[in-house]
Structure 1
Amino acid sequence: MSETESSVKEQVSDPSPKKPSDNQQSGFFGNLVFNIAIPVLIMTYASSDEYLGPAWSIVVALAFPLTYGLIELKKTKKVNLFSVLGIVSVLLTGGISLLKLPAEYMAIKEATIPAAIGLAVLITQFTKKPLVKALILSDALVNWEKLDAKLEEKNATALFNSKVAISSYIVAGSFFLSACLNYGLAKWILVSEPGTSAYTEELGRMTALSYPVIVIPSMILLITALVYLFKQISKVTGDPVEEYLRQ
């Protein structure tokens, strides 16, 4: 799974600059080390027959993000959609690699998960609980009770929902972009025969490149959607957005 989904849920409780907490820092570095750095090193430098070999290097490398994801689930005691998708993605990567399926399967897998999230964002926009609110305007960030009361007072609920719909298209676009970049990156890098040391090294290279190639462009769109909604909250209510952010 690309780092896009794991970065989506990073939230800010105060728009003014402040030093990140120890938990935020450890979470960021934990993701970086266990989901990218260690797997990349193992698949790149331990996939030859004199070390772990192609198959075992994949097993050992993927054990780190899988274990990290399970520990995070146990620690938070909440079933997070993106954590579950991350674990499923790791298992699919391992299964496709160990079964020595053509690289096309890996490319499809890499594109399917973000594309599915993008579709979910669009579909849930027509329900009472748009997914975009959970992604970038969760209860931990926005005081929805206060905001909803203000919107009702100004008879502006429908107007604000139309702004949320626009943000949904932006967020969905970020996931569709991620799907395209995931697919293209896999097709570009995975060119060796599955089950070989060269293929495993390419898998490690693809993981290493996923952050700058995929996450950064996608996060720009997600931040754009968040900033847009912040501005709309202020515009529709007539109050500073800080009035509706949790302290």
Structure 2
Amino acid sequence: MNQSATHKPRPMVDLIVSVILPSFILMKLSGDENLGVTGGLMVALAFPLGWGAFELIKYKKFNFIALLGLISVMLTGSIGLFELDNKWLAIKEATIPAIIGIAVLVSTFTPYPLVRALLFNAAIMDVDMINRKLEENNSVAIFEKKLMNATYFVAGSFAFSAVMNYVLAKWIVTSPAGTAAFNEELGQMTLYSYPVIAIPSMIMMMSIFYYLWRSIHKATGLKLEDLMVKK
């Protein structure tokens, strides 16, 4: 059986391996009496980097977001290991979601809009049936306008993430790179980013999905259970 087809997301495992363990190592084990500044940073970065590589190799689930995640890890490691000015950390934290947001907008001018891949795709919704209903009700143009609105909302959610990432990094990470204090602050920033940034962003995405579902419902008359792909 194709492992990539049967692979199910494991958000709790992802959270523990990619966030909680690295943050604990940075905050508690990067002092001179433990792993040291460089050793602590390298061990902490090895967890998300190794986990991401494992997922990509074993389940063949490579995608643009995974690539950005790996780049983010490598950039963070470079800032710490080469003791760069920590202003670059704030810039890096803002750049990743900003790139995604810009990509979402730019993709609307291509045959493959990212918002369709994120929200309106055949893995989640019965796209063929929805398109048939839209054509029957002469609602294709109206729905396309709603889909464009959803694109702006998605790009806006990434803009929010970019701004908040920058603010959080500037607020928390104030010590010079290459020090134990920098590693500890990096761990704190990683932990705080979830309640401050990730959860609000998740709520935004759920709200956008609800907006899109309501738009489809009004344009086609289909109920939510009719829209979703039957497993």
TM-score w.r.t. structure 1 length?
Answer: 0.87
Match of 1:225 in 2: 208
Unaligned runs of 5+ in 2: 1-6
Asked if 2 retains the 8 angstrom alpha-carbon contact of 1:233 and 1:241, the reply is: no
Runs of 4 or more, structure 1, over 4 Å off, are none
Equivalent position to 2:27, from 41, 44, 57: 44
- Counterpart code for 2:160: L
Answer yes or no: is 1:62 the counterpart of 2:62: no
Between the aligned partners of 1:36 and 1:165, the Cα distance in structure 2 is: 33
Equivalent position to 2:71, from 88, 96, 104: 88
User: Alpha-carbon deviations, 1:25-47, whole Å to 9, x = none?
Assistant: xx111111111111011001111
Asked if 1 retains the 8 angstrom alpha-carbon contact of 2:79 and 2:177, the reply is: no
Secondary structure at the counterpart of residue 125 of structure 1: helix
1:23-34 paired onto structure 2 within 5 Å: 23-24=8-9, 27-34=10-17
- In the comparison of the two structures, how many residue pairs are matched? 224
Between the aligned partners of 1:84 and 1:131, the Cα distance in structure 2 is: 15
- Counterpart code for 1:95: S
Match of 1:213 in 2: 196
User: Alpha-carbon deviations, 1:201-239, whole Å to 9, x = none?
Assistant: 111111111100110111121111100000011100122
CA-atom RMSD in angstroms: 1.4
Answer yes or no: is 1:76 the counterpart of 2:59: yes
Alpha-carbon shift at residue 78 of structure 1 (Å):
2.9
Alpha-carbon shift at residue 23 of structure 1 (Å):
4.0
Match of 1:171 in 2: 154
Percent identity of equivalent pairs? 46
User: Alpha-carbon deviations, 1:44-89, whole Å to 9, x = none?
Assistant: 1111111111111010001000011111112321321111111111
Between the aligned partners of 1:93 and 1:184, the Cα distance in structure 2 is: 16
Match of 2:167 in 1: 184
Match of 1:236 in 2: 219
- Counterpart code for 1:221: M
Match of 2:186 in 1: 203
Between the aligned partners of 2:16 and 2:90, the Cα distance in structure 1 is: 24
Alpha-carbon shift at residue 155 of structure 1 (Å):
2.4
Note closer, same or farther for the CA distance 1:91–1:69 as it changes in structure 2 (3 Å cut).
same
Asked if 1 retains the 8 angstrom alpha-carbon contact of 2:55 and 2:61, the reply is: no
Match of 1:7 in 2: none
Answer yes or no: is 1:118 the counterpart of 2:106: no
Equivalent position to 1:161, from 144, 168, 175: 144
Between the aligned partners of 2:81 and 2:225, the Cα distance in structure 1 is: 51
